[in-house]
Amino acid sequence: MKASRTLAESCHEAGVRVPDDIAIAGFDDIPEGRYHTPTLTTIAPDLGALTMSVLDLLIRRIEGGAGPAERVEVPWSLQVRESTVGETLRPA
């Protein structure tokens, strides 16, 4: 998300309008994205589910040693904010 914030600031300095000229979205839903101007659209992973998955994998590795790599998927949500749709089009 920090990269998204930096990109938005660089666009502003260059006269590129967000979201009129370019749409920006980030990942991780860091709190700063909610207060940035424009507010930043982000993918928000379910941190509780992610934490539980990591702990489960860790415990299984400790108890059974190294195993094959595993793919873990966790729920996520799209937080639509001004950086992709503007202030007037933002969902309620």
- Mapping DSSP onto H, E and C, the string for 24-76 reads CEEECCCCHHHHCCCCCEEEEECHHHHHHHHHHHHHHHHHHCCCCCCCCCCCE
Tell me the pLDDT tens digit for each residue of 38-56.
Answer: 899 999 999 999 999 999 9
Tell me the pLDDT tens digit for each residue of 59-68.
Answer: 988 998 777 8
| Every domain of the chain and the residues it spans | 2-85
* pTM of the model as a whole: 0.74
